[in-house]
Structure formats: structure tokens, C-alpha cells
Structure 1
Amino acid sequence: MEQQNRKHLSDHYAIRRLKQGECIKSFNCGDTDLNDFILNESVYYRNALLAVSYTVEKRDDPNNVIAYFSLANDRISLGDFENKTEFNRFRKHRFVNEKRLKSYPAVKICRLGVDLSMKGLFVGTFLLNFIKSYFIIDNKTGCRFLTVDAYANAVPFYFKNGFIPLNEDDADSDTRLLFFDLATIVDGTN
């Protein structure tokens, strides 16, 4: 079923980067904050060079936005951990000694929303797979991780898509910092 939906999405929908100053007129994912971002704020984030938004649109009707996501630069660093020991545990199995830095490049998924009409059709998973491949195939900037501050109710969705908590400090918070190691795709451990 998921394979069929992925093929259907690829055949009938296109992912497009929003142009400078471009506004989306209509979108409803059921979350006021996510709706407000794409309808009103994304243009300001783009103009300030803070985030870039992408839409998923019907190929035959580009005004019909069924989903969107926004990306920004990020990093995973010592400051994200309770202490240096936790940070060293994080990087111990991921990097050889020569590559042990104080921070590692990441891309943050700032927002991701799927229109209510498309819920349950694996559009969110389709987008996460697109984002993962976007930074694996011809890696644009040298990016090792994807990060997201996931709403608590979205955490299970990100877990199903291979994201894991960066630490346990925010386990009971409204949002949870999760990451995905892109090297798991490259070296086949995912």
C-alpha cells in the first residue's frame, strides 16, 4: 500500500521550492501554527535568509498545495548535551578520532505539514524520504544530520521514519529534539 501511494505521489505531485516573495493562498493541515507559517510567515523567513520552504502540488494544478516543508541550517554540538561525556558518547561510534569536532553540520526540518485531505496517505513519509535523499544525492553543503523539533504528538511519526532523540532532557516537553543520521543511508545501516 505504501509503495503504491509513493508511486502515485511521484507520478501526480511535484515538489517545488517557493520563489522569493511567493505566498501560498490556501492550506489547512489542521494545525494553526503550521498553517500560519506557510500562509503568512514563510515569505519573511525566506527574505531574511533563515529558512526555505518547499511545496507539494498537483502536477496538473499547481495552485493546489497538499503539503509543505521548510528547511534551515543547523548543527549538533556539545551545547545540545547535558555534559561532554554525553556528547562524546554521541560521536564515539559515528566518527573516527580525526573527525571529532565540536559541532557537526545538520539541516533542520523547521516545519512539515500535510493538508487534511491527504492525511493517512504517507505524504509525510514521502517528504522525509525526499529530504533524506536531497542531502544524500549530491550532498549540497556537507550535511551529516537532519534535525527536527517535533511536536509531542508527531514524535511517533518521526520514530517510524528513523529519527531518534538527541537526548532525554525534553522527553516530557511539548516538542522533542530528534535527529536522523544520514550516514545510516550511505553505509546501509538503516
Structure 2
Amino acid sequence: MDIEYIKDNYIFEKLNENHNLDDFECEIEDLAKFLKEDAWNQQNMNLSLTHVVICDGIVVGYVSILTDAMKLRILEDKETKDKICSKLNISENNVIPAIKIGRFAIDKRYAHNGLGKHVFRNVMLSILDISENIVGLRFITVDAYATAFGFYVEKHKFKYLKKDQKDVDSLNKIIKIDPERSFSLYKDIKSILK
């Protein structure tokens, strides 16, 4: 299937028992395993909600979302932290509501062609809509594998926690040694449209 065709024609559907997940494969095996073995059970227990990305009946990707919270004091981005503390008249020890992207993946047959960036942008816009119309939240969080660090930080302007600075400085080495090492990342919801 042509990537541009997929970008113009994919839809999101809430995961259900009728979706055929057998052919879905990722470069990171854990992501495919989650979709095939755990996503449905977690959804039934109200722990996360998974939406599959479908084009012409084929699952080309998915996103799993759940609630989260963040303590402001752990933020690397001092400007964001100070702005929120000042605007809300709170201390950096306060907990702020967030939504977590628990898993995000594109089938490896369609990866590395801009589809992931396109789909992820729509996921973020949906989260922005939720924050403006359904439930209050301020951050999007994600635990990103080292191999996906650039996708989130460079392409989507997520920030990392200040405790991870040393590991970020050694990112290329970590990718070679432990590509599934995860980094806790965040994005201020107010920065999505910037």
C-alpha cells in the first residue's frame, strides 16, 4: 500500500475482538506483543484504551492511552515549570494531571516513511481536543525506548526529565547496548499548536 494513500485514508478504531492483528509486526517486538497479547485485556480492565490505525481493513499502527500525573519538580524545562507554577499559583511539589501514551507503533512495513509522524500528530491533536472539551490535563507523557527518543524529542518537541541528562548525553551508546532502555518524556499540552 502506498504511504501517501494511507495518510489520506486511515482511520482510528477502538480495539475490538474483530480486528485481525496476526500480521502486525514492529521493529521492536515488545510493541507488537503488547498489541496482540495485552492490549485487549488491559482495555477490558480499564487500565488503558487502544486505538488501531486502519487503512482498507489493514492494521497499520496503534496507540494505547491511559491517565497519568506529573510532579512539576521533575521537569527539565525550568521555563515551563516556572510558568505553570506562577500561572496556577502552586509550588513545584504539586501534581499536575496528564495523559500517557503507553504504546505507539507503526507496522514495520509502513515505518520510516513519515506515516508515524503523521499519525502521531493526529493523536496529539485528539489529546488537545480532550483537554479542551472533556477532561482537564496539562501534559502528555510517554516512556520512550532509546531508539524512539529522537522521534519524540526532535520531531515532536517532547522534553526529558532532568534526572536523565547523563543518559541523554550517552544516547548513541545506550541505543547500541540497550535499545529498549526507556526515557520518561513529557510535552506541555499548550505547546502542541506551536
- Interval of TM-score (by shorter of Structure 1 and Structure 2): 0.7 to 0.9
Q: CA deviation at 1:53?
A: 0.5
Match of 2:48 among 48, 51, 58: 51
Tell me, which stretches of 5 or more residues in structure 2 are unaligned? Answer: 168-173, 175-180
Q: How does 1:109-188 map to 2 (within 5 A)?
A: 109-139=101-131, 140-159=134-153, 160-169=155-164, 171-172=166-167, 174-185=181-192
Report SS of the residue matched to 1:154. helix
Greater CA deviation, 107-116 or 159-168? 159-168
The aligned amino acid for 1:179 is Y
Change in CA separation of 1:27 and 1:170 when aligned onto 2, cut-off 3 Å: farther
CA deviation profile, 1:87-146 (whole Å, cap 9, x unmatched): 987521234354426111111111111111101221221222112111222533212111
Unaligned runs of 5+ in 1: none
Partners of 2:184 and 2:130 lie apart in 1 by: 26
Asked whether the 8 Å contact 2:70–2:97 carries over to 1, the reply is yes
Moved more, 118-127 or 156-165: 118-127
- As a proportion of its length, which structure holds more helix? 2
Q: Matched residues, percent identical?
A: 26
CA RMSD of aligned residues (A): 2.7
- Mapped contact 1:91–1:100 kept (Cα < 8 A): no
Q: Distance in 2 between matches of 1:138 and 1:157?
A: 23
Q: What is the DSSP-based 3-state SS (H/G/I as helix, E as strand, rest coil) of the residue aligned with 2:11?
A: strand
User: What TM-score do the two structures reach when normalised by structure 1?
Assistant: 0.79
TM-score by length of 2: 0.78
SS in structure 1 of the partner of residue 40 of structure 2: helix
Distance 1:108 1:93, change over 3 A: same
Structure 1 position 65, deviation (Å): 0.5
Query: Closer, same or farther in 2 for the Cα pair 1:94/1:128, shift >3 Å?
Result: farther
2:27 pairs with 1:30: yes
Alignment deviations for residues 70-93 of structure 1 (CA, whole Å, 9 cap, x no partner): 001001115x739xxx79875212
Q: Which amino acid aligns with 1:153?
A: T
User: Are positions 1:108 and 2:113 aligned together?
Assistant: no
The one-character-per-residue Cα deviations of 1:154-180 (angstroms, maximum 9, x if unpaired) are 101111211111223375271111111
Taking a change above 3 Å as real, the CA distance of residues 126 and 165 of structure 1, as seen in their structure-2 partners, is same
Residue 12 of structure 1 pairs with residue 9 of structure 2: yes
Asked if residue 66 in structure 1 is aligned to residue 60 in structure 2, the reply is: yes
Q: 1:65 to 1:125 in 2, by over 3 A?
A: same
